Structure 1
Amino acid sequence: MLRRAADAQAALARHPRHLLLAALAAGLLAGPSSAVALAAATALVLVTVRETPLVFGTLAALLAGAAVGDARLAALDRSELAPGDVTARVTLLEHPRTRSFNTRVAAAQLRGERVLVKAPARVAWPRVVAPGIIVAIEGRLAALGPHDAHERRRGAHALLVATTIRATGARRGGLLGALDRVRDRSERALAGGLPAPQGALARGMVLGQDSALTDDVREDFRVTGLAHLVAASGANVMLLAALVLAAGAALGLGLSARLWLAIALIAAYVPLAGGGPSIQRAAVMGIAGIVAALAGRPSSRWYALLLAAAVTLAWNPRAAGDAGWQLSFAAVLAMLALVPGLRTRLAATRAPPALADALAVTAAATIGTAPLIALHFERLSLVSLPANLLAAPAVAPVMWLGTIAGALGQIAPALAAPVAALAALPLGYLTWLADAAAAPAFAEVVVPSPGAAGVLAIYAATAAALLAWRRLPRTARRATSGVLALGALGAVAALAAGHGPGHPPKDLTISFLDVGQGDATLIQHGDAAVLVDTGPPGGPVLERLRRAGVRRLDMLVATHDAADHDGATAAVLATMPVGLVLDGEEVTAGGEVRRLAAAHSVRRIASDAGQVIRAGPLQLRVLWPRREPAAPADAEPNDRATVLHVRDGDFDLLLTADAESNVLAGLHLPVVEALKVSHHGSDDPGLPGLLERLRPQVAAIEVGAHNSYGHPTPSTLAALQRAVPVVRRTDRDGTVRITVRDGRMHVSGEEGGG
């Protein structure tokens, strides 16, 4: 142990630049966020660094980083914008993005400050909207909401909710304006020579702009671990530098001129590709390596990585909170640590060098980013490794052909079209690959979030195990490698064999549970969970809740006295803690829900129109029934069923229970993203009119297979198919889930309903 400590101290003394840069980055990271972390870093320096000059230098770098970080945050947070009505010209900083199918948002600059423009569906945008376009907006400035933490990390100061957006015909000038025009010509060059789907993918891969991708393609790339291809990153910078150096050599330029040209183009590429944390990191590392070559010194990838961390954190100390920043650095760290050993072992198997390199890099990046992906997205792709390996041969041709087409497009689009057309084949292959790899049910699995402390523990344990493994004798290494390989295969097999999620989702998730002929709708967001109805007696609701990771319900809603809606209420109350019961049974009914709530000491309130109940980020508003005047003893329970409007941020859901148009037509109904169809899809002549008012993008029918009622009826299905883009039913699709992530809905089903 003492020898290892001495070796570590000697290594620090041999690389003082690395240590000073690491201390600077640590100060930038810890200082603005935690005095405790800064104190811990100081203590670590005092314990691990022995040479007195190096101790003082390291402490100075650490404190300087903290001071710069604090000053930078103060500058970033300085704002003169005040809440209230505003009419102003703003400069768009990005292409508008769609949220929840009815709201579009875009970062913009207002009076020199970054804001997030948000426009509801009823607000029309100008025909041409792109970075650098100046538009006139009337609206209201407000504070950023809880769903806009990502924008706050990017430096946004306020939310601008637009009521009108008008074109001005103006664009920003200066260097950024010139880059805007370069980007526009590049986009037209890529779009002009390719079919629309391939053109959209080319824009994502070459320029980091995925706004034109369809939801299906975007989801396929995410599920298969290929999403990094449409977010400008290190691969883009590496391939750009390789192309520039090769083209410069072909033109007869000297090495120094080629290197300076590569530096200039990499620096210009950062804003062209959106300027995200990942591309910033890659650009700094790339330029550092080229500068080392210009100086005639050997480059150090570890030094370049530390320099990239220091530069990106000095520019924005909050960048470390961005998932893209974390994933980018984790991938590079893993590649620096693991690729040399993996490449050597693969070469020993006589694998072709290109295959060994691709497999080593892909495996290292996959291993390095897995804990962070679990933390941020609570999902892991089981097909990421083979998908990335199969995608590798097509990436460089797309990037090089797209870059050449973009360059020719600065001269004339006609010159660019033939070059862009050559990229159609690799682009089509990548689209097919993502679709095919995402198709298996096991392609992606839900995993529990390890939490920030858990991620740090995983990385620390992995580093310790790697160091210990490297000190083993060669024969012991081989045996250990076999055991680890078998363990990894067993873990992947176990995840693939698992069916359905077993942990609460991080994102807003609405699950229309497959419980047979009955209703049960689960709404989850983080730790908040609400169950609306429980399905029939003896139904599978408890198993469905277990698979959804529910261990406690904030609220249980019994919409009305009907066995196919409240039949399993007793089982739910007896099995798990419930914070509140919202009881839709009439006083004239048997009062079974009232009795059960009292027996389990659960607070109960009767549903009544106008009530608003919150559970975490979820807001539930009762639209019906009104308890005054009291219903007659012979009132139809379906007509008195509790109708709920559920809202979470920009997402709206209407849960109608068994109340049909004779009830709903008289209510004040919101425009919604999703609808639970009334009464299992029974015949309802007023449904077309309701759909015209509600305008849902998704409709779910909770119904049992081969039921004796004929649900859902042909007339209801016809009305839904005419008015609603996505219609799902639990008898055919199993449990239907809507996941709202990054402002978009993703609808999935568990096959085998019934």
Structure 2
Amino acid sequence: MGRSPVHAASASRLGDAHPRQEGPTDLRLVPPALAAWATAALMLGATVEWAIGVAVAGLVVGGALLMAGRNGDDGSESAGRNGDDGSESAGRNGDDGSESAGRDGDDGSESAGRDGDDGSESAGRDGGDGSESAGRDGAGGSGRNRTDGSGRARWAPWSGVSVAAVLLCAAAAAASAGLHGADLRRGPVPELARQYARVTADVELTADPRLTRPRVKGDHVAPTAVLLKGEVRRLEKPDGSVAGVRTPVLVIVDAKAKPGGGGRYRSGGDERPRAPGAGAEQGAWLSLLPSTRVRVAAQIVPAMVGGDRIAAVLRVRSGGPPEVVAAASGAQRFAGRLRSGLREATDGLDADARALLPGFVVGDTSRVPVELDEAFKATDLTHLLAVSGANFTILLALFIGPPGLAQRAERRGLAPRLGIPLRTTALVGGVMTLGFVIVCRPDPSVLRAAACGSIALLAIATGRRRSLIPALATAVLVLVLYDPWLARSYGFLLSVLATGALLTLAPRWSAALQRRRVPPRLAEALAAAAAAQAVCAPVVAVLSARVSLVAVPCNLLAEFAVAPATVLGFATMATAPVAMPVAKALAWCASWPAGWIADIARTGAAMPGGGVDWPGNWTGALLLALVTVVVVLGGRRIVSRPRICAVCLVVFLLVVVQPPPLTRVITGWPPPDWRFAMCNVGQGDATVLAAGDGTGVVVDAGPDPLLADRCLNALGITRIPLVVLTHFHADHVAGLPGVLRGRSVGAIETTGFEEPVDQAEFVRRQAAARRIPVTRAVAGEERRTGGLAWRVLWPPPDTGLAPGTGPLPTTGPVPEGANDASVTMLVRSGGMTMLMLGDLEPPAQQALLRSPAAAELGAVDVMKVAHHGSAYQDPDLLRAVAPKLALISVGADNPYGHPAPSTVAALRAGGATVLRTDEDGAIAVACGARGLLVARN
């Protein structure tokens, strides 16, 4: 057979520019992998007897089918044998899904079953005329896939061997899952946990310690604790006996820093001394490395959530640093120095880059603030902060070259430029994979990322895209058998779905877009983002009960910055131990793409129409999958019509951005000439006072930065001359980053009572980071901006003494708590008056009535009811102000019973119309010819 003209002109048998033709996609390993996955998920909670029974049944039946398939009536062997003549094909597939006798030889050429002189593949490959050669399935029909003439795979009829493979893999998964599940139920640890016993245990850490995320609970931020995953190796029971065990547990260390002095109630510019040694105890626990063994005295309790990989929880009431009984291994100490060098090199960067770069490189999210973490979740960019196979693939591609070019003369990458042979390059890639696992910690998520990254390594080494599906199936099968708990992991499910989408849907969608004249690079990026989002969205909806409409554009925009941020981040980590100045320079370069990604996340999360609520269950997931299929099928027709595409794009942008002028026309929100607006921020307070076009004074920021930011965006607020924080409770100040983001802010005014201390420090840090001055509000202060004017009624001037340490001032008592120190304002705008009481409680409300400011407290038009409408209200104050409209900012289904029925009844009895954000949503008030006009959103 003669050679083609292209190959004849080349000195290479395969041709310099054209790799060998690929066969059809091999899907035979997919059913066994899925069977193992499902069996492992079910058997983890089953008894040992059930697991053994399933394993034995699968082994017996599968073995019988396998023997029957090998001794069929026609005398030929299936699954990789030749046809009717019974001879073996040179290129049959091995048991592991890879090619055996037909694999590449040492000299780079293929052995028996390699490409023929004419460029076509022989013995088990497509012939020159496009038909299958003698190596295809025999008449008996094996479980392998055949082609339909177009090179695409189609399923062949199932044979006994195919069913046997599924049953044998299921049996192996049942045995592995049964053993892992039994580990959690046997031994003394589960029994002692049911008794809530106090024990002394030696725990070997299996992952990096981490802090719990601070969460706003009512008026405070829940204290953080240190979480450590590990295995109990030695257990001293309450009776003094000692047992050697190996049981996985979660250790929760309540290592709290003492505040070191209370806040002071004062005015002026005095600063409170910072608490000495704050966080030192937590830092000692957080510095521990995986493989370190520590001894803890703890109370052992059952795990709160069943079905996890831990047998119990050890609650440690820490009174000091950890007691280390065995240091970490040498490899982990080296990896720890690399990670520490990365953190040190990023210390001088801005807050976003300092937080994100360690996350991009090694999955260290300890510096990521809550509001940025929530923004990444809202835009489905969280995968960038986890140890990801995609990020590791970027490094492999940088070193070896992009997939599909590994066997071409023009293949790119550092390895071919350095003259490294292909096989040596693949070996170095394997070493990089091992190093990746060690540096990023060998926990399940890292192993999953390494396996997914190795799939890309296979493509790079072979130049075959279609070999990736069996590689993915192999990775799933091996990982599930090695660690059955991955079968119940949402992270594992999302990784497999995303990888499968990138291997199957993305290439087809990219080709379809290119046929419609979309530029190749843009088509590939858009297809990859859309494919991953389409298959992962139903699972994400189950986890978050929300569907992001901005996920695809945000991922598309972030994709261009991920590669430089990741590569420069790894370079920073590699150079930090030997040349810190160079590492800091690289980190500074990496801060630009990292900052770009942070801006994308925050911008997408702040979009008023950035997401829609969705049922957070599997019924909702199926519904979303159906909607996705409809959108994809409809999109195929729309893409070929540019005008319709343009219209759809404009409509999408309007839905997501919701520009205030258009929103006002369609929804009536915000109403024209609105004066006061109460945002719906859940269980907290956030009110906006209109001060001109795009300008507003913000009183309190609520508990959630995203909700505060969205409310201000919907109101069209871009300039804030003053932010007033009535007091430092978390439900009034935790949303401050969302208020400050992207807006011009003149100053922040607060109460002088700086408690809670940690939240007062939080406000001060936020202001200092943006160079915003912080002032103190005192009674008698008057201000005006535009048509807006207000007077501060409370708190009164103070004596400069801490609460309860001296005589009371003449104007009122020293507040006993933060609520009674709330800044209270009487606001006038457009002929209306509004009384804003913060969270004042009856003692301060009574003192306010006795103060000189009481002379101004006549009837008001609008009142912001104190303390979310709690039952603690002074009836004399309610009668004195007699509001026409009472607004209550409260969260739905809050555990405090706010608003109290007695308070609502008292307000209505006084003639007030009562509106509440949990039922009415955001509320805006305007003044019309017939009185107050109210709009709800």
Fold match, TM over 0.5? Answer: yes
Q: Which residue does the alignment assign to 2:169? A: 61
Cα distance in 1 for residues equivalent to 2:575 and 2:462: 32
| 1:623-662 CA-partner distances (Å, limit 9, x unpaired) | xxxxxxxxxxxxxxxxxxxxxxxxxxxxxxxxxxxxxxxx
**Is there any run of 5+ residues in structure 1 with no aligned partner, and where?**
1-10, 500-508, 517-669, 674-680, 721-726, 741-746
SS of residue matched to 1:166: coil
Cα distance in 2 for residues equivalent to 1:321 and 1:187: 33
| 1:447-505 CA-partner distances (Å, limit 9, x unpaired) | 222x2255356548967998x999xxx989969x9799969968994997899xxxxxx
Q: Which residue does the alignment assign to 1:174? A: 329
Q: How does 1:430-469 map to 2 (within 5 A)?
A: 430-449=597-616, 451-456=617-622, 459=625
Q: How does 1:423-434 map to 2 (within 5 A)?
A: 423-434=590-601
Q: Which residue does the alignment assign to 1:7? A: none
- State the Cα RMSD in Å: 5.5
| 1:398-428 CA-partner distances (Å, limit 9, x unpaired) | 1000111111124342332222221122122
Change in CA separation of 1:739 and 1:80 when aligned onto 2, cut-off 3 Å = farther
Residues 672, 694 of structure 1: 8 Å contact kept = no
Q: Which residue does the alignment assign to 1:232? A: 387
Amino acid corresponding to residue 199 of structure 2 in structure 1: V
Q: Is residue 106 from structure 1 mapped to residue 220 from structure 2 by the alignment?
A: no
- Report the Cα offset of residue 51 of structure 1: 1.6
Residues 511, 735 of structure 1: 8 Å contact kept = yes
Q: Which residue does the alignment assign to 1:361? A: 528
Cα distance in 1 for residues equivalent to 2:256 and 2:354: 29
Q: Quick one: which of 829, 837, 840 aligns to 1:712? A: 837
Q: Is residue 141 from structure 1 mapped to residue 300 from structure 2 by the alignment?
A: yes
Q: Which residue does the alignment assign to 1:71? A: 179
Q: Which residue does the alignment assign to 1:550? A: none
Q: Is residue 127 from structure 1 mapped to residue 294 from structure 2 by the alignment?
A: no
Q: Which has the larger radius of gyration?
A: 2
Residues 343, 358 of structure 2: 8 Å contact kept = no
Cα distance in 2 for residues equivalent to 1:332 and 1:250: 29
Residues 568, 587 of structure 2: 8 Å contact kept = yes
Q: Which moved more, 1:406-415 or 1:186-195?
A: 186-195
SS of residue matched to 1:173: coil
Change in CA separation of 1:33 and 1:347 when aligned onto 2, cut-off 3 Å = farther
Amino acid corresponding to residue 262 of structure 1 in structure 2: G
Cα distance in 1 for residues equivalent to 2:361 and 2:867: 36
Q: Which residue does the alignment assign to 1:118? A: 252
Residues 282, 308 of structure 1: 8 Å contact kept = no
Q: Is residue 28 from structure 1 mapped to residue 40 from structure 2 by the alignment?
A: yes
Q: How does 1:269-280 map to 2 (within 5 A)?
A: 269-275=436-442, 277-280=444-447
Residues 703, 729 of structure 1: 8 Å contact kept = no
- Report the Cα offset of residue 175 of structure 1: 5.3
- Report the Cα offset of residue 102 of structure 1: 0.4
Change in CA separation of 1:491 and 1:413 when aligned onto 2, cut-off 3 Å = closer
Change in CA separation of 1:164 and 1:144 when aligned onto 2, cut-off 3 Å = farther
Residues 234, 283 of structure 1: 8 Å contact kept = yes
SS of residue matched to 2:543: helix
Residues 549, 656 of structure 2: 8 Å contact kept = no
- Report the Cα offset of residue 220 of structure 1: 1.9
Q: Quick one: which of 76, 81, 97 aligns to 2:211? A: 97
Residues 37, 477 of structure 2: 8 Å contact kept = yes
Cα distance in 2 for residues equivalent to 1:249 and 1:393: 24
Q: Which residue does the alignment assign to 1:613? A: none
- Report the Cα offset of residue 191 of structure 1: 2.2
| 1:162-196 CA-partner distances (Å, limit 9, x unpaired) | 23241457763335524543443443454256344
- Report the Cα offset of residue 315 of structure 1: 3.1
- Report the Cα offset of residue 223 of structure 1: 1.8
Change in CA separation of 1:180 and 1:416 when aligned onto 2, cut-off 3 Å = same
Amino acid corresponding to residue 130 of structure 1 in structure 2: S
- Report the Cα offset of residue 343 of structure 1: 0.6
Q: Is residue 312 from structure 1 mapped to residue 471 from structure 2 by the alignment?
A: no
Residues 154, 319 of structure 1: 8 Å contact kept = no
Change in CA separation of 1:338 and 1:266 when aligned onto 2, cut-off 3 Å = same
Q: Whose helix fraction is larger, Structure 1's or Structure 2's? A: 1
Give the TM-score, by structure 2 length: 0.49
- Report the Cα offset of residue 200 of structure 1: 1.8
SS of residue matched to 2:209: coil
Q: Which residue does the alignment assign to 2:100? A: none
- Report the Cα offset of residue 287 of structure 1: 2.1
- Report the Cα offset of residue 240 of structure 1: 2.0
SS of residue matched to 1:376: helix
Cα distance in 1 for residues equivalent to 2:200 and 2:27: 56
Q: Quick one: which of 567, 570, 580 aligns to 1:403? A: 570
- Report the Cα offset of residue 214 of structure 1: 1.4
Q: How does 1:412-423 map to 2 (within 5 A)?
A: 412-423=579-590
Change in CA separation of 1:700 and 1:203 when aligned onto 2, cut-off 3 Å = farther
Q: Which residue does the alignment assign to 2:70? A: none
Q: Which residue does the alignment assign to 1:570? A: none
Q: Is residue 86 from structure 1 mapped to residue 98 from structure 2 by the alignment?
A: no
Count of residue correspondences: 551
Q: How does 1:571-590 map to 2 (within 5 A)?
A: none
Change in CA separation of 1:688 and 1:422 when aligned onto 2, cut-off 3 Å = same
Cα distance in 1 for residues equivalent to 2:607 and 2:638: 37
Residues 572, 586 of structure 2: 8 Å contact kept = yes
- Report the Cα offset of residue 443 of structure 1: 2.1
Cα distance in 1 for residues equivalent to 2:283 and 2:428: 36
Amino acid corresponding to residue 359 of structure 2 in structure 1: G
Residues 302, 313 of structure 2: 8 Å contact kept = yes
Q: Is residue 223 from structure 1 mapped to residue 378 from structure 2 by the alignment?
A: yes
Cα distance in 1 for residues equivalent to 2:492 and 2:814: 43
Change in CA separation of 1:257 and 1:688 when aligned onto 2, cut-off 3 Å = farther
Change in CA separation of 1:361 and 1:275 when aligned onto 2, cut-off 3 Å = farther
- Report the Cα offset of residue 688 of structure 1: 6.8
Change in CA separation of 1:433 and 1:52 when aligned onto 2, cut-off 3 Å = closer
Q: Quick one: which of 331, 344, 355 aligns to 1:200? A: 355
Q: Which residue does the alignment assign to 2:554? A: 387
Q: Is residue 255 from structure 1 mapped to residue 414 from structure 2 by the alignment?
A: no
Q: Which residue does the alignment assign to 2:399? A: 244
Change in CA separation of 1:319 and 1:196 when aligned onto 2, cut-off 3 Å = same
| 1:299-340 CA-partner distances (Å, limit 9, x unpaired) | 622222222322332233232333322222222233334212
Residues 289, 304 of structure 1: 8 Å contact kept = no
Residues 736, 750 of structure 1: 8 Å contact kept = no
Change in CA separation of 1:156 and 1:211 when aligned onto 2, cut-off 3 Å = farther
- Report the Cα offset of residue 436 of structure 1: 2.3
**Is there any run of 5+ residues in structure 2 with no aligned partner, and where?**
1-22, 66-142, 144-154, 216-221, 234-245, 258-278, 401-412, 668-680, 689-755, 760-791, 805-812, 846-865, 870-884, 895-916, 926-937
Cα distance in 2 for residues equivalent to 1:441 and 1:13: 44
Q: Quick one: which of 527, 534, 540 aligns to 1:373? A: 540
Residues 115, 157 of structure 1: 8 Å contact kept = yes
Amino acid corresponding to residue 225 of structure 2 in structure 1: R
Amino acid corresponding to residue 359 of structure 1 in structure 2: L
Change in CA separation of 1:443 and 1:734 when aligned onto 2, cut-off 3 Å = farther
Amino acid corresponding to residue 248 of structure 2 in structure 1: R
Change in CA separation of 1:367 and 1:78 when aligned onto 2, cut-off 3 Å = same
Percent identical pairs in the alignment equals: 25
- Report the Cα offset of residue 429 of structure 1: 1.9
SS of residue matched to 1:103: coil
